[in-house]
Amino acid sequence: MTAQTSEKRKVESSSGDSTLALVLRYLLLFFVDAFALIVVITLLATGNIGLGVTLAIATVGANIITFIPSLKPLRWMLPGLVLVTCFVIFPIFYTVYTAFTNYDSAGHLLTKRQTIDLILRSRGAYYAPDGARFYEWTIFQSESDPEQLALWLTRTNDSGETEVAFAPVGEAIQDLELDDGEPPATYEGYIQVTGADRIPLISVVERQVFGDGDDTVGIAGAGSAARPLVERLIYDAETDTIMDIATGITYNADDSIGEFVSQPIGLVYEEETGNLTVPGTNAVYTPDDSGIFTDFGLPYRYEADRGGLFSPASNAVIEEDADGVMSLPVNETLTPGYRVFIGGQNFSRVVDDNFNSESFETENENFFQQFAGAFNGELFTIFIWTFMFAFLSVFTTFWAGLFMAIILNDAKIPGKKIIRSLLIIPYAIPGVIGIVVWQGMLNGNLGIISTTIADIIGRPFFPFQEATTARIAVIVVNLWLGYPYMMLICSGALQAIPSDIYEAAAVDGASPTDRFWKITLPLLLVTVGPLLIASFVFNFNNYLIIEALTAGDPPIPGSSRAAGFTDILISYVYQLAFGSNRGADYGYASAITIIIFFITAGITLLQYRYTRTWEEVGENV
Amino acid sequence: MSRTRFVVIMAVVAAMLLGTLNTAFAQGNTLTIWADNERTPILQDLADDVLTELGIELEIVEMGLGDARDQLLVAGPVGEGPDILISAHDSIGQFVANGAVVPLDRSLFEAEFLGSGLDLFTFNGELYGVPYAIENVALIRNVDLVPEAPTSWEEVRTIGEELQASGEAQYGFVVQSGNTYHNFPITSAFGGYIFGRNEDGTFNTADLGLGSEGGLASAEWLSGMYVDGLMPPDVNDDVAFQLFEDGDAAMIVTGPWFSQRIIDTGVNYSIDLLPVSGAADGEAVGAPFSGGQGFVVSAFSENQLLAEIFLTEYVASTPFMQAIFDNGGRPPAFLDVDTSSDVNVGAFQAAGVNAIPMPAIPEMGAVWASSDNALTLISQGEDPVASYTDAVAQIADAIQIATSDERIVGVPGSHQAAAGCAGDWDPACDVTFMSDEDGDGVYTLTITLPAGDYEYKVAMNGGWDENYGVDGEANGSNIMLSLSEETEVTFTYDDSTNIITDSVNNPE
C-alpha cells in the first residue's frame, strides 16, 4: 500500500493530476475496454466485420491517446472522436459499399452463406415423394431407455379405412391391424408422452428419422408425419449448385445477380412408361392423355421422328444428344436470393430512370432546354423547387429572426423577457407536433386559417390543392419553425459587434441605413454565415416538414413516378427507393444518397467560397 | 501500478464475459414472440397459463407491426429474431419472397377459422399464418338524415343532391380523399380492381385494374361528385368524423378500429354494407378490402415445430382468441368468439361479406403512392380518366412491366426465313411484327412470300409466353398457309378475340 501510494504521488507530480482524477480516468478506461471487447467479439462472431473492426480501431485509439503523455490534449476530444468514427465515418463507408450491391428487401438481404443455410434448413428442403402417406403422429418414449423414441401413426386412407403404424427410431416400422387409431397409454415397452412432457422432446423429433432402411417416417408439420420424408435439396459446394431431386432441376449460384438460377433440365424419355425422367434424381414427369407434358411452361410432346421433344406452341425442338438426354431450358429461381456486389448498376439505374438522353438529340432547342428536357419532367421541377425551398427558408427565417433580434436588443422595449420567451416557443415544441397542428389549421374544410381566408375572399380556400398555395404554406410553416433559431444566433452575434465601431461611424456621419447595411450586416454575416449555410443544407434535406405537412401533395399530373409539387429531392427519392415493389431497395437508395451528397457538397463549397469574402471584410475593419 | 491495472482489467472483462454467456445460452423450451403494443399485455397475462399447461416458456418482445416486418429480415439470419411474430397480412408477400416464414398445414385450422381469414394469409396456395383479426371498412350512416341504406352509388349521389338541396346536410357522403384503401369499395363496385387474376388464382401484375373499364367508371363517378360540390376534397379521418358529428356529412366510410369513436360522435348511426353496385341497376360486384393480422412462424427460428404446435394447440383455441378480442376489439377470424361486448363488430363483419383480400404481393408497394395521387388529383378537379391512366403508367413503370400500349405482336412461323428473318419460328424478329395504326386493337402485317407451304401463329412481346394459334387458342396449333405462287399476304390479328387470319385463307 505504501509503495503504491508513493508511486501514485510520483505519477501525480509528473502529470499534474490529482490522485482521484487519475484513478477515475483509468477506471473509466478499464470499463470502456471491457465493454468494447464484448461488443467487438459479438459483432465479429455474427458477421458484422465492418462495424466490429471500426469499434476495435476506435477503442485502440482511445487507449493510445490515454496512455501517451504527448497526446494529452486529444483526451478531451476522445469521446467525440470515438462517436464520430462509429456513427459518422463508418455509416458513410457502409453506405458507399451498399450503393454497389443489390441489397434490397425483395430477397437480397442475406449473404450467400446465410441464404444457403436458410434454404437447406427450410421446410421446402424436405418433401414427401409421390405415393407417400401422411399420418397424424404421437410421441412415444421407451421406458427402459428414455433416449429411444417412437411415433404412433394414424391415418384414414382413400377407402376410408384406418391405417395404424408404430415407428421406433432405427427399427423397422410395424404396420398394425387396428380399427381404432387412438394411441394407447403404453405399447411394447413404450409410454405415450402427453401434455407438457412432449415439449422438451419436440426439438429432438423435429429432424429425427423414424423407422430404418427404405421405409422411414419424418415429421413434416404439427399434424403430419410423412412416410417417407426425403431430403429434397442438395448443395454441392464444389460446383456451387443446389439440386432439387423432386423436380430434377439444378440451380446455379449466379453471383452477378445474387440468385440461384435453374440450368436447363436434362430429361430422358422412357419408352415403356412414356414418362420423362431426370437421371440421378427422383423426378418423373408424366404426360396427359394426349401425350403432352405440361410441366415446363409451354406444352411439349415427345416425337421420336423429330429426335426429341417438340412444342406445338413454339414449334421448338429439343433434340436428344448422344446419351439420349434432352436439355430443356426452364426459367426458375430459388427463394430467396442473396446480396452481391453488382458494380455501378444502381448508379446507371438512377441515370436511366431519371435522365432521358434522347432529349439531346432533338434539334431546334438550345442546350439548356435540352438539358432540362433530359430530366424526367418532374425531377427537374423537384430539383428547382428544392433549391428554392431551401433558399427561401433560410432567407425568410434569417430576416425574421434578425428583425426580432434587433428589436429585442433595444433596451427600450418593455416586458422584453416575456416577449422573448414567447417567441422561442416554436423552437421548443417538437417539430412534428407543430407541423401537424398547422396541417389541421390549414385544412380546407375545417381548419381555422383556411375557413377564415375563405370567408374573406368569398370562396372556398384549399391551400393544399394548388402548387403555389401549397408551396407558400410550406414556406410559412417552415418560417414559423425556424425563426427562433435565427433570432437566437443573431441576437448573440449582434452583441458581439463592438460598439466603438458604431461610435466611429457616428463621427463619420453615417446614416442609420448605412450603419445597418455597411457595418451591422457584414459583421453579422461573418459569424452567422456558416450557420446560414448549415441551415440551407438542413432544409435541402428537410424530409420531415414535407412529409408531415403535405406528403408531397398536390400531385404532379402525368409524372412518370408518383411525385407532388411540394416534394423535395429527399422525399421524392424516399418514395422511389422504398415505395416500389421491391420493398426497401437499400442499394438504389444508397446510390441516390451519394449522388445527392455530391450535389449538396458542391453547392456548400461554392457557398463557402462566396461567404469567405465576408471574412475578408471583417478582417479589414 | 501497471500490474494492478492489468489484473483489474482482466477481472472486469471476465465478469462481463460471464454475463454474455448467460444470454447466449439457448433454452429449448422457450418461444420468443414479437407482438405489437396491444397484444403484448395480453400475451404476458397468458404466459403463466402457457407455462403450466404446455410447459412452454414465452418470451414476449414488444415491437410495432411495421418494425417487426423490417426487423425480422435483419435480426432473423443472425439468430436474434423471434420464433413467432404478429404480422399484418400484406407483409406476407415480402416475407415469402425472402423465405422468412414457414408454411403451415391449413387443414389443421380449416374448421375453426373464417375461410376469408385463412385466405388472407395464404400465398401461392400455402398458409403462412394463423389469423386472429380480420377487418374491413363499412358505410356509417346517420339514420336521422338517411332512413334507408343506399344500394347503389347512384343512389348515394341522389341522396347527396337531395340533402344539399333541402339544406338538411352539407354533404350526403364523404370519403377520405387521396386514400386508395377507403375508396376501394367505390372502385370495385364499378367493376374496377387493382391486379387481375390468372386462371390459377395468382395475381397477374400486368393487368392493372385502375385502367380497366370499371376502374375508369369509378373515377368518373368520383370526379362527378367532387366537381358538382357533392363531396369536399382535403378530407382525412378527423375531418370525416367531425363532419359526421356535426351532421354535415350523412354517410362516411371507416373501419372497426374507430368503433368507439363512432359511438362517441353521439349520432344515431347504422353500420351498413357499402353499396355494391355502381349503376342503379348494376350487378352486385363491389366490396371493400379485407385486411388481417395474425401469427406467423419465422423461418429463422430454431424451434419451428414447437412454434407450430403452440399455434395449433394453444393459439387456435377459444380462450386465447377470446382474450385477444376482449382486449383488442378487432373482429375475430376465429369462429368461436363471443363478440357481444362490442356492438359494432357484428355489423362490420356483415359488411365484409364480399370483402376482397388486399393483395399481399410485393408489387402492391408501387400501387399505393400512384393510386393515392390519382385520387387526390380527381378530388382537385383534374380529369379522372387522365389521372387514372397516368397512375397505371406510373405503376407499370415502377414494377417494370410493359403496359398494354406497348404490346408487340409478331407472326412467327416457317415463313420467316423467306420473309427475311434470321430463322424460322422466331417471335422476336421485327420483320414480322404487326402494327396497329388506328389503335383499335386490330393489327396487320403485309409481306410478300414466295410459293410454298407455311405454318404460322401469333406471339406477343417477342416471346412465347403469350401465343395464340388456331381459333385464338393459347398455345394452340399452327395455322396452315399454302401459296401456289409468290403472293402478297396480309395477316390480320384481332386482340379482342386473339384470332389471326391471313388474306389467302380468308379473303375479304
pLDDT tens column, B123-165: 888 899 999 999 999 999 999 999 998 888 989 999 999 999 9
- Give backbone dihedrals phi and psi of B61, rounded to 5 degrees, phi first: -115, 130
Q: What percent of chain B has pLDDT over 90?
A: 34
Name which of A5-19, A113-127, A252-266, B403-417 the model is least confident about: A5-19
The pLDDT value given to residue B14: 63
The whole-number pLDDT of residue B286 equals 64
Instruction: Give pLDDT, residue A617.
Output: 54
* Interface contact flag, A109 B98, Cβ < 8 Å: yes
Q: Given the DSSP bridges, would you call strands B356-357 and B289-297 parallel, antiparallel or unpaired? A: parallel
Q: For residue B91, give how far its alpha carbon lies from the nearest alpha carbon of chain A (Å).
A: 10
Question: Quick one: closest CA in A to B424, which residue?
Answer: A315
Whether A138 and A183 have beta carbons less than 8 Å apart is answered as yes
Q: Do you find a cis peptide bond into A336, omega within 30 degrees of 0?
A: yes
Question: In Å, how far from its chain's centre is CA A541?
Answer: 18
Pairwise CB contact (< 8 Å): B308 & A559: no
Q: Report pLDDT digits (tens) over A213-231.
A: 888 899 988 888 998 888 8
Is residue B478 within 8 angstroms of chain A, CB to CB? yes
**Considering CB atoms only, which of B15, B97, B233 is closest to A465?**
B233
Neighbours of B327 (CB within 10 A): 13
**In this prediction, what percent of chain A has a pLDDT beyond 90?**
22
Q: State the CB neighbour count (10 A cutoff) for residue A255.
A: 13
SS3 A285: strand
Are the beta carbons of A252 and A259 closer than 8 angstroms? no
Residue A419 to residue B223: CA distance in whole angstroms:
49
CB contact under 8 A, B234 and A465: yes
Instruction: Report CA dihedral (A110, A113, A114, A120) to the nearest 10 degrees.
Output: 130
pLDDT for res A475: 96
Q: How far is B308 from chain A (nearest CA, A)?
A: 6
* C-alpha distance from A35 to closest chain B C-alpha (Å): 8
Strand, coil or helix: what is B414? coil
**CA A60 to CA A36: how far, in whole Å?**
10
Q: What is the mean pLDDT of residues A195-211?
A: 86
pLDDT above 80 (res B77): no
Strand pairing class (B129-136; B289-297): antiparallel
Mean per-residue pLDDT, A389-402: 95
The answer to whether B74 contacts chain A (CB < 8 Å) is yes
Q: Distance between CA atoms of B225 and B161, rounded to whole angstroms?
A: 10
**Mean pLDDT taken over chain B:** 86
Whether the per-residue pLDDT at A408 is higher than 60: the answer is yes
Q: Select the residue of A111, A118, A583 nearest B365 (Cβ to Cβ).
A: A583
Q: What is the mean pLDDT of residues A32-36?
A: 89
For residue A564, list chain B residues with Cβ-Cβ distance below 8 A.
373
Q: Is B460 on the interface with A (CB under 8 A)?
A: no
The reply to whether B228 touches chain A by the CB within 8 Å rule is no
Residue B16 is nearest to which of A34, A111, A580, comparing CB atoms?
Answer: A34
Instruction: Please report which confidence band the pLDDT of residue A595 belongs to, taking 50, 70 and 90 as the band edges.
Output: confident
Residue A582 has pLDDT above 90, yes or no: no
pLDDT of residue B315: 92
Strands B479-483 and A233-236, by their bridges, are unpaired
Cell numbers for B197: 387474376
In this complex, the residue of A35, A462, A555 whose CB is nearest that of residue B373 is A555
pLDDT-derived band at A481, boundaries 50, 70, 90: very high
Tell me the chain B residues in contact with residue A562 when contact means C-beta distances shorter than 8 Å.
369-370, 372-373, 394, 398
Amino acid A377: pLDDT: 64
CA gap B296, B81 in Å, rounded: 13
Q: Is the pLDDT confidence value at A121 over 50?
A: yes
pLDDT at A81: 85
Cell numbers describing residue B278: 355502381
Residue B348: what are its φ and ψ, rounded to 5°?
Answer: -65, -40
Q: How confident is the model at residue A12 (pLDDT cuts 50, 70, 90)?
A: very low
B340: closest CA of chain A, how far (Å)? 33
What's the confidence (pLDDT) of residue B22? 47
Give the number of A-B residue pairs with CB atoms closer than 8 Å: 235
Say if residues A301 and A292 touch (Cβ distance below 8 Å): yes
**pLDDT at residue B186, rounded to an integer:** 92
A368 pLDDT band (50/70/90 cuts)? low
Q: Using 50, 70 and 90 to split pLDDT, how confident is the model at A542?
A: very high
Segment B208-248, tens digit of pLDDT: 889 888 899 999 999 999 999 999 999 999 999 999 999 99
Average pLDDT over all residues of chain A? 85
**Pair A168, A210: CB distance under 8 Å:** yes
Are B309 and A562 within 8 A, CB to CB?
no
HEC string of A591-602 equals HHHHHHHHHHHH
Q: B94 at the A interface (CB within 8 A)?
A: yes
Among the partner residues B78, B302, B393, nearest to A46 by beta-carbon distance: B78
Is the pLDDT confidence value at B93 over 70?
yes
pLDDT, residue B10, reads 66
* Residue among A392, A394, A416, A429 nearest A491 (CA): A416
The highest-confidence range among A345-359, B47-61, B67-81, by mean pLDDT, is B47-61
Distance from CA of B170 to the nearest CA of A (A): 11
pLDDT at A17: 63
Q: What is the structure's pLDDT at A13?
A: 47
- B178-196: pLDDT as tens digits: 999 999 999 988 888 888 8
pLDDT at position B13 is: 61
pTM of the full structure: 0.79
B402 to chain A, any CB pair closer than 8 A? The answer is no
Outline where DSSP puts E strands in A9-147: 126-127, 133-142
Cell of A9: 504521488
Which of B254, B213, B223 shows the shortest CA–CA distance to B236? B254
CB distance A33–B17 less than 8 Å?
Answer: no
Helix axes B364-379, B213-227, angle to 10 degrees: 30
pLDDT of B406 above 70: no
Per-residue model confidence as pLDDT tens digits over A299-345:
888 888 888 888 888 888 888 888 889 999 888 888 888 888 898 88
Is residue B506 scored above 90 in pLDDT? no
Q: Show residues of chain A in contact with B316, CB under 8 Å.
A: none
Site of grid cell 434448413: A121
CB contact residues (below 8 A), chain B span 413-432, against chain A: 413-414, 424-425, 427
Collect all residues with Cβ–Cβ distance below 8 Å to B109 and sequence separation of at least 6: B118, B127, B130, B312, B316
Using alpha carbons only, how large is chain A's radius of gyration in Å? Answer: 37
Q: Mean pLDDT over residues A185-191, rounded?
A: 88
Interface of B with A in 317-346 (CB under 8 A): none
Cα–Cα distance list, A272 to A269, A275, A277, A317 (Å): 9, 8, 12, 22
Q: How does A83-96 read in b/e, with b if 16+ C-beta sit within 10 Å?
A: eebeeeebeeeebe
Distances in Å between the Cα of A606 and the Cα atoms of A542, B221, B236, B354 are 21, 53, 43, 61
Residues of B in contact with A315 (CB under 8 A): 412-414, 424-425, 455, 478
CA dist A140 → A152, A153, A215, B107 (Å):
7, 11, 19, 24
Q: Is the dihedral of CA A508, A509, A513, A516 positive or negative?
A: positive
Q: What is the mean pLDDT of residues A174-189?
A: 86
Q: What is the DSSP code (8-state) at residue A156?
A: E
Q: Return the SS3 of B41.
A: helix
* Mean pLDDT value of segment A29-48: 82
User: Contacts of residue B312 in chain A, CB cutoff 8 Å?
Assistant: 222-223
What residues of chain B lie within 8 A of the CB of A206, using their CB? 304-306
Mean pLDDT is highest, among B2-16, B62-76, B299-313, for: B299-313
Cis peptide before A228 (omega within 30 of 0): yes
Report yes or no: B331 and B134 within 8 Å, Cβ to Cβ: yes
**Cis-peptide, bond into residue A460, ω within 30° of zero:** no
Residue among A38, A105, A314 whose CB faces B20 most closely: A38
Mean pLDDT score, A227-239? 90
In 3D, which of A559, A361, A518, A7 has the Cα closest to residue B370?
A: A559
Q: Angle A377-409/A467-496 helices, nearest 10 degrees?
A: 40
- The residue count of chain B comes to 508
Helices marked H in B76-127 — which ranges?
92-97, 115-120
Q: Is B53 on the interface with A (CB under 8 A)?
A: yes
CA A557 to chain centre: 29
At residue B84, the 3 state secondary structure works out as: strand
Cell output for A598: 455530391
Longest CA–CA separation in chain A, Å: 120
Residues of A in contact with B457 (CB under 8 A): 313
Beta-carbon separation of A105 and B308 below 8 A: no
Angle at B370 between CA B366 and CA B376, to 5 degrees: 150
What is the SS3 assignment for A440-505?
HHHCCCCCHHHHHHHHHHCCCCCHHHCHHHHHHHHHHHHHHHHHHHHHHHHHHHHHHCCHHHHHHH
| Contact status of B29 with chain A (Cβ, < 8 Å) | yes
Beta carbons of A401 and A487 less than 8 angstroms apart: yes
A-chain CB neighbours of B376 within 8 Å are 553-555
Nearest to A445 by CA among B170, B498, B283, B460: B170
pLDDT of residue B231: 93
Distance from CA of B400 to the nearest CA of A (A): 9
Q: CB of B505 within 8 Å of any CB in chain A?
A: no
**What's residue A7's pLDDT?**
55
Q: What is the distance in angstroms between the Cα of B483 and the nearest Cα belonging to chain A?
A: 21
A557–B377 C-beta distance less than 8 A: yes
Of A221, A314, A336, the CB nearest to B467: A314
CA separation (Å) from B253 to A350, B216, B225, B239, B274?
A: 40, 21, 16, 12, 9
State how far Cα B506 lies from the chain centre: 45
With H, G, I as helix, E, B as strand and everything else as coil, classify residue A332. Answer: coil
